Amino acid sequence: MIKTYILAIWDSIHSALVGMKITIEHLFYKNVTHQYPNVDARVSSGTAAMPSYARNRIDFIPEACTACNLCEKACPVNCIEIESIKVVEGDTDQPMMKNGKPRKQWISKYNIDFTKCCYCGLCVNACTFDALKMTDFFEYATYDRKDLYYHLSEMTPEMVNNKKQMLENNTLKIKAEKAQLAHDTSI
Ligand code: SF4
Ligand code: SF4
């Protein structure tokens, strides 16, 4: 009877010691927890950059964009909005592409709603012109959802109105020229 009693006590102590063994061992292991945000994990782990496959905030490079809309179509949650305006022939402000060729479209709107974005990366993959890339930047939490709606076009509202007006004037001019030509040939 006493023997069983003592064995039961020993069993309890033994099982507690086995459990504590792991805990005690870990007291001597090197820390792997990063005290984020006080310590930047990239710095404390000795890596300056995020891994190449990391998905963070997306960057838009307007001078590479052709307004093909492929990224907008590829986005599964419809969080990209694009609008463009055709560059009118003779526009002295005509923007240039990254490759040095004149751009054919003004990118009047390029918005990404990061409250919806699921960081799938499909838009980046769809862009064959390297106008979208994943950045290293992941610390952009905000207190206001509106701040996560990114307006990435470089055009001001005045510029957009101006270029729309130019295009409209040009369209009217072409129509008038065509009408005049048709009139002249019918005489
Ligand atoms: S990462 Fe995915 S969800 Fe986010 S904008 Fe690109 S396609 Fe849309
Ligand atoms: S896929 Fe690339 S080039 Fe086409 S609209 Fe999107 S960002 Fe611009």
**pLDDT score, position 43:** 65
Cα separation, 139 vs 157, whole angstroms: 29
Within a domain: 33: no
Within a domain: 115: yes
pLDDT of 98 over the 90 cut: no
Nearest CA to ligand 2 atom 1: 127
Quick one: tokens of 186?
């019918």
**pLDDT score, position 47:** 65
CA of 117 from ligand 1 middle (Å) equals 5
Q: What is the CATH number of the domain that holds 63?
A: 3.30.70.3270
Domains of the chain: total: 1
From 58, 59, 66, the mutation candidate for ligand 2 (largest count of ligand atoms within 8 A of CB) is 66
Tens-place pLDDT, residues 131-180: 999 988 888 889 999 999 999 999 999 999 999 999 999 999 999 989 88
Structure-model confidence comparison of residues 110 and 40, the more confident one:
110
**pLDDT score, position 41:** 67
Within a domain: 3: no
Within a domain: 140: yes
Residues 6+ apart with CB under 8 A from 161: none
Tens-place pLDDT, residues 6-61: 999 999 999 999 999 989 998 898 877 778 778 776 665 666 677 778 899 999 99
Ligand nearest to the CA of 111: 1
> 120 CB under 6 A from ligand 1?
yes
Within a domain: 10: no
Ligand nearest to the CA of 118: 1
Q: What is the mean pLDDT of residues 111-135?
A: 95
**pLDDT score, position 185:** 82
Range of the domain at 88: 58-170
**pLDDT score, position 37:** 79
CA of 85 from ligand 2 middle (Å) equals 14
**pLDDT score, position 80:** 97
Report whether 125 contacts 59 (CB < 8 A): no
Q: Assign 117 to helix, strand or coil.
A: coil
Report whether 133 contacts 58 (CB < 8 A): yes
Within a domain: 27: no
Structure-model confidence comparison of residues 79 and 2, the more confident one:
79
CA of 33 from ligand 1 middle (Å) equals 30
Question: 87 pLDDT band (50/70/90 cuts)?
Answer: very high
> 79 CB under 6 A from ligand 1?
yes
